[in-house]
């Protein structure tokens, strides 16, 4: 048997989620998206197996080292997803360059990402923008029954980019509100904006 070395393994599809402090919105999306896609995230690997999808997050003005606030962690845990072991980190150009898909939580974050790495423009979306663009996508345009979730996620990125500008929408609908230092109601509002978008993306690539 020919030994398999790391260089022989397919590179995973890398997803990077970005907000401001990297403690509320982007870590919630990181954990929810990873759970929905069966993906690895920072602090959890594939149990020794190379993951097909990796989901990570960072902040444009990160509160480096901080965990998720209790309010957001409770909302994530309420869906049976583990919020533990998270530590915020600062966004760098290298993170964006390595990502196959970059998901910003607001249009402002999306602009900051593209300003940092202009070549990432066609693979950078706000979370809700991507969900809107792919919500009614024809499943036949994605790889078929023998394809993996990673294959379909990779194929989804250029398809979504090609659909930009084809339908009218309110720009503000592409943003997720920042709940930091807000009350329970604001955390719930933020969560209620990001969760359906995550679910739409997951359903699109797993159906």
Task: State yes or no: pLDDT of 207 exceeds 70.
Answer: yes
When pLDDT is cut at 50, 70 and 90, the band that residue 7 belongs to is very low
For 3, the token pair is 């030994």
Q: What is the CATH number of the domain that holds 68?
A: 3.40.50.2300
pLDDT of residue 44: 62
136 in a domain, yes or no? yes
User: Is the CB of residue 18 less than 8 Å from the CB of residue 58?
Assistant: yes
Average the pLDDT over 124-137 and give the result.
95
What percentage of the chain reaches a pLDDT higher than 70?
92
What pTM did the predictor assign? 0.92
For 36, the token pair is 């929905």
Q: Are strands 101-104 and 124-126 parallel, antiparallel or unpaired?
A: parallel
155 in a domain, yes or no? yes
Considering only residues 145 and 32, tell me which one the structure prediction assigns the higher pLDDT: 32
The rounded Cα 151 to chain-centroid distance in angstroms is: 16
168-188 pLDDT, tens digit per residue, is 888 899 999 999 999 999 999
Domain of 28, in residue numbers: 10-206
What percentage of the chain reaches a pLDDT higher than 90?
80
When pLDDT is cut at 50, 70 and 90, the band that residue 165 belongs to is confident
3 in a domain, yes or no? no
pLDDT of residue 153: 96
2 in a domain, yes or no? no
47-104 pLDDT, tens digit per residue, is 545 689 999 999 999 999 999 999 999 999 999 999 999 999 999 999 999 999 999 9
Q: Which of 88, 44, 72 is nearest to 181 (CA)?
A: 72
When pLDDT is cut at 50, 70 and 90, the band that residue 166 belongs to is confident
100 in a domain, yes or no? yes
**Residue whose token pair is 């790495």:** 117
57-71 pLDDT, tens digit per residue, is 999 999 999 999 999
67 in a domain, yes or no? yes
When pLDDT is cut at 50, 70 and 90, the band that residue 6 belongs to is very low
Angle at 188 between CA 111 and CA 193, to 5 degrees: 40
The tally of domains found in the chain comes to: 1
| DSSP 8-state symbol, 78 | T
Task: State yes or no: pLDDT of 143 exceeds 80.
Answer: yes
Task: State the chain's mean pLDDT as an integer.
Answer: 91
5 in a domain, yes or no? no
Considering only residues 8 and 45, tell me which one the structure prediction assigns the higher pLDDT: 45
4 in a domain, yes or no? no
């Amino acid at each position: 048997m020919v030994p398999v070395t790391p260089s022989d393994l397919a590179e995973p599809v890398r997803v990077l989620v970005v907000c401001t402090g990297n403690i509320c919105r982007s870590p919630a999306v990181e954990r929810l998206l990873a759970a929905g896609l069966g993906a690895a995230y920072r602090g959890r690997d594939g149990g020794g197996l190379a993951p097909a999808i990796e989901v990570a997050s960072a902040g444009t003005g990160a509160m480096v080292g901080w965990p998720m606030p209790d309010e957001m962690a409770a909302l994530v845990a309420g869906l049976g997803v583990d919020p533990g072991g998270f530590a915020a980190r600062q966004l760098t150009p290298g993170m964006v360059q390595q990502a196959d898909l970059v998901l910003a939580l607001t249009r402002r974050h999306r602009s900051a990402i593209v300003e940092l790495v202009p070549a990432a423009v066609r693979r950078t979306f706000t979370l809700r923008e991507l969900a809107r663009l792919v919500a009614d996508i024809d499943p036949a345009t994605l790889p078929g029954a023998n394809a993996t979730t990673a294959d379909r996620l990779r194929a989804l990125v250029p398809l979504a980019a090609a659909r930009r500008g084809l339908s009218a929408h309110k720009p503000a609908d592409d943003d997720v509100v920042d709940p930091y230092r807000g009350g329970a109601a604001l955390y719930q509002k933020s969560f209620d904006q990001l969760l359906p978008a995550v679910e739409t993306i997951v359903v699109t690539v797993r159906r």
